[in-house]
Every structure is written in structure tokens, then in C-alpha cells.
Amino acid sequence: MTFLALKGVQKHFGGFRAVEDFNLDVERGEFVSFLGPSGCGKTTTLRMIAGFELPTNGTVEVDGVDITYRPPNKRNVGMVFQSYALFPNMTVAENIGFGLKVRKLPAAAIRKRVDELLELINLGGKETRYPYQLSGGMQQRVALARALAIEPQVLLLDEPLSALDAKIRISLRNEIRSIQRQLGITTVYVTHDQEEALSLSDRVVVMSEGRIEQVGTPFEIYNFPRTSLVARFVGTLNVLTARVVDAAAGRVEVDGQTIRTAGPIAGAQTGDMVTIALRPEIMSLDEGAAGANQLRGSIDDITFLGAIVRIRIRLAGDGVGAGGGGANAGGAGGGAGTVVFDTFNNPHLAVPQRGGSVTLSFPPEACLLLEQSSAAAAPDPVAEEILAG
């Protein structure tokens, strides 16, 4: 059942459209992330749920009640910011209990709730410390406890882990997820980190230029991105421009080499250019099964990433039609006419040599045909910069 609903929400700053036609139903207890490049409207949307911004149009409802014009302190919403925003002159216990004190709860009830939350965030015994005496990770756990103290109907987190180092980020993200599950609290989480969104969420909302690009489970978003923006933003992916050779047979040409997609290419004519996504982990460097696609090339670069070995291959074709470039993430980015291929490491892996000729194989089903992005009509320079890696 829908618990949080955003209906036709828009936010314009003067003539600038920061959020456009945003429609989303979030189930009770669901964990939803807003994912997208800087400036795509994630924080603005979150702030409209919190009441810090008023929508230009549309409504925000929680549990069937329209709260669009309620001030923040009259909504039962908890918010965690990137910057922790703890009160520096208050102890951990005073910070956590702040919202309860404002609501004039008796001191004994506040103490009991603070103790429960200290236990929940594993900071028992630290209640008399001040924020400056805590690490960044501890401070963010206090901020989370403070947001949870008022037993909010909805928990909102705005890039809460961005200021922390990689190891703490991963442990705190697991902690946030486990606390969220334990409490069953409806949560909206803003991030531009695809791994964070995929690992934490029940559903991910990929945004671009103020619009929803795709909503889906992490599995759907990663495996079946609908547009090239989603495909490029979620994971390391080859996005290739291909020329249609035979639309009915699903045959296209990439860099002068012909491959097949899984089925007919709807609405395309011979000679049209289409965009195809290919996951690096779906390919192999052997002959492949009967009917597999093959692309010839030479090894341009090999990056050892621990569990994964990433190999960049320059296609051996005529340079026509592969302009989409290689994978975007992890710094392995390709460029025109290159494809990135990932293989699992093992100590006996026969790693090929740079410059060596190879044939990449992959099944036709691995070729995802992408739709035009809803924001693609006018390329977003910020998004392009991020997607370029």
C-alpha cells in the first residue's frame, strides 16, 4: 500500500525547472533511493518531502494525508544531512533527545528513548561526549539517531555518507540498512553513488534534469536499463552506437562488424543508428556458444581491480558506427571504437598481453537496445562530464 506519494510534483526556481512532473508511490517500509548526476533535482525533491521547499505544482502525501503546505516541524519526517548538522554545544544524548525536548516529553521518557537509540547505533557509553570528540562515522550515527528519535513516519537521508572515507561508508551503509529494516521505516535516500543506491534500496529512482528516467529494483535497473543515461549511470557499461543492417533480423553493424540483437529492432529502418548497451561481465574471450556474436579487436589496456580484471579492447573494424564509446565507471572508460570486458580474477588466470589480438563473444541477448533518454534532446553538460568518468 502506498505510504508516501508524490503526485505531479514540480519545482521551478524563476524560469529554471529543477523538478518536472515527478510522480512516485513509495510503499510503507520501503527503501527508495534517488540516484542521478549532480543537479538533477534529487535534493530539491527530498526537500519538498521534508517541507523545506514548496512545490510549484503537485502534492506530497503521507499515509493518505496531503502535507504539501505543512511546515517542516508540523510533518513527522526525520532528516539526515551530508554534513551531520549536529549541535556542537550539545552532548550526544542532548543531540539525540533534541526533537523530543522540543516536543516537551518528560525527561525520563527522553532518557529512555535516547538509551534505546544509543544501543541501536552502537554508541552506548558515549552519551556525554560532544560532537568534536567523535569520528565522522560516529557523528553521522548520532545524526541518524536524532532523526529517528521522534519516530518519524518517513526518514529522509541526503547523501549521508559522502563525507566519510570508503571503509566507513560501507560499514555505515550496512548499518543504516539494517536499522531501517529493523524499524520498518519508509525511507528516501539521495545519492549520486550507484553502488550505494543498488546495494541499499528496494527500488531506485534514476533521475536526470529534474525528471524520472527509470524506476525499478536494483536488479531491473542494472540488468534492464531503458535509456542510455540509466545504462551509463548504473555500473560499468559499454554503450555502442550501431548501424541497422536488417531491422527484422535484428542485425546491426558496430565498427564495421556485424552482430545480432535478441529480436527485431522495432521501428528502425536499414541505415538508422541505434544505441546498444553491453555489460562488460557478459562477454568472454573464447569462441562462445553457437550463434554467439563476435567482435574482433586488440588489447589496449589491462587493469587489475582485485576480484575483477578489466580489459579494454580496441575494435578491429573500420572505425564506423562504434562512436558510443566504452564503459563509463571505474576509470576504465573506453572512447570511440573500444569495448571494456571484465573477467573474474583467479591465481591461474592466463592474462592476455597488451597489443594481442582477441575475439570477444557474447550472446545476442546481451545486446540491450536503449531508448532515447527523456533528457537526451538537450545534452546536460554536467551529466556528460560525470558519465565520461
Interface contacts to ligand ATP, rule CB under 6 A:
13, 16, 18, 36, 38-44, 192
291 class by beta-carbon count within 10 Å (0-12 exposed, 13-18 middle, 19+ buried): exposed
By C-beta, is 41 or 78 nearer to ligand ATP?
41
Closest separation in Å from C-beta 239 to ligand ATP = 22
By C-beta, is 7 or 17 nearer to ligand ATP?
17
By C-beta, is 42 or 310 nearer to ligand ATP?
42
By C-beta, is 44 or 227 nearer to ligand ATP?
44
Strands (E), the chain: 2-13, 16-27, 31-35, 57-62, 65-66, 77-80, 154-158, 186-191, 203-208, 211-216, 238-246, 251-254, 257-260, 273-278, 293-304, 308-315, 338-344, 357-362, 368-370
Closest separation in Å from C-beta 228 to ligand ATP = 19
Closest separation in Å from C-beta 207 to ligand ATP = 7
Closest separation in Å from C-beta 42 to ligand ATP = 4
194 class by beta-carbon count within 10 Å (0-12 exposed, 13-18 middle, 19+ buried): buried
Question: From the DSSP assignment, how many helices (H) and strands (E) are in the chain?
Answer: 9, 19
By C-beta, is 155 or 276 nearer to ligand ATP?
155
By C-beta, is 16 or 344 nearer to ligand ATP?
16
63 to each of 24, 26, 83, 181, 216, how far by Cα in Å? 14, 10, 29, 19, 22
Closest separation in Å from C-beta 295 to ligand ATP = 36
Strand partners of residue 159: none
**DSSP string spanning 159-219?**
STTTTS-HHHHHHHHHHHHHHHHHHT-EEEEEES-HHHHHHH-SEEEEEETTEEEEEE-HH
By C-beta, is 118 or 376 nearer to ligand ATP?
376
The order of strands in the sheet holding 273-278 is 257-260, 251-254, 238-246, 273-278, 368-370
Closest separation in Å from C-beta 43 to ligand ATP = 3
Closest separation in Å from C-beta 382 to ligand ATP = 8
By C-beta, is 206 or 283 nearer to ligand ATP?
206
Phi, psi of 338 (to 5 degrees): -125, 150
Closest separation in Å from C-beta 80 to ligand ATP = 15
**d(Cα 145, Cα 135) in Å, to the nearest integer?**
15
